[in-house]
């Protein structure tokens, strides 16, 4: 019986046979929730889909061969706004919503990922990456903000099969006077008083 795995490759837009670089070290990264409000059906869908893929990969290559990482975004503008609206700390709201998310994972019978890093645990790595982008002139500073300059990256949009000129300014990325181009997106922004903060890049 043929037990090959076929997945859609976003770069080629074709269904292709999955051939791991190393059968004993298969990496799987999934963008997890931003924990500002209780999980909804949109959060549940990727949970179930990637849980199935995780199980299939482990079944084919072995339980110890698949490194499934699913992050938790526990700091961003939506979280700060929610904490202000509900008059509770950022820590309180993220802990509560993260617990509810994990409860839903259990209810849906989803297996735990190998690792579940939080954004706040990796700020130093983010700062290092931003500094590297600044050094290579892929990013720029303006009024305390740091933006990624999409025009500098010629293959921007290749993975989503979208051309830069076809993207509608403001539909996904906030328009700001600080930007060189409307499509540029923020990598770092200044904090307001009483908001969580870190030393800027």
Structure confidence at residue 108 (pLDDT): 97
Q: 């837009």: which residue's tokens?
A: 13
- Domain residue extents for the chain: 6-117, 123-188
Full-model pTM = 0.87
pLDDT at site 182: 86
The CA–CA distances, whole Å, from 119 to 13, 76, 78, 136, 195 equal 30, 9, 14, 24, 16
- Determine the 3-state secondary structure of 10 from DSSP: coil
The pLDDT value given to residue 163: 76
The half-sphere exposure of 25 on its side-chain side, counting CA atoms within 13 A, is: 2
Residues 49-74: b if buried by 16+ CB within 10 A, e if exposed: ebbebbeebbebbeeeebebebbbbb
Helix (H, G, I), strand (E, B) or coil at 155: coil
Tell me the pLDDT band of 159, cut-offs 50, 70 and 90: confident
> Could you read off the pLDDT of 67-106 as tens digits, one per residue?
999 999 999 999 999 999 999 999 999 999 999 999 999 9
pLDDT for 174 beyond 80: no
User: At residue 179, does pLDDT exceed 60?
Assistant: yes
Assigned CATH for 6-117: 3.40.50.620
Which pLDDT score, from 0 to 100, does residue 189 have?
A: 93
Reported as a single tens digit per residue, the pLDDT across 103-150 is 999 999 999 999 999 999 999 999 999 999 999 999 999 999 999 999
């Amino acid at each position: 019986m043929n037990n090959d795995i076929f997945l859609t490759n976003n770069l080629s837009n074709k269904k292709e046979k999955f051939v791991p670089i190393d059968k004993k070290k298969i990496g799987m990264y999934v963008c997890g929730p931003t924990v500002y409000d209780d999980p909804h059906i949109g959060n549940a869908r990727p949970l179930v889909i990637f849980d199935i893929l995780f199980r299939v990969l482990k079944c084919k290559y072995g339980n110890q061969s698949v490194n499934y990482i699913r992050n938790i975004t526990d700091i961003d503008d939506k979280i700060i706004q929610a904490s202000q609206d509900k008059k509770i700390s950022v820590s309180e709201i993220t802990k509560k919503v993260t617990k509810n998310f994990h409860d839903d994972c259990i209810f849906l019978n989803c297996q735990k990922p190998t690792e579940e890093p939080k954004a706040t645990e990796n700020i130093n790595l983010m700062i290092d990456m931003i500094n590297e982008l600044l050094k290579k002139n892929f990013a720029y500073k303006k009024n305390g903000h740091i933006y990624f300059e999409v025009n500098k990256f010629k293959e921007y949009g290749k993975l989503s099969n979208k051309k830069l000129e076809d993207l509608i300014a403001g539909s996904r990325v906030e328009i700001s006077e600080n930007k060189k181009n409307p499509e540029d997106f923020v990598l770092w922004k200044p904090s307001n008083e009483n908001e969580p903060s870190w030393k800027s890049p």
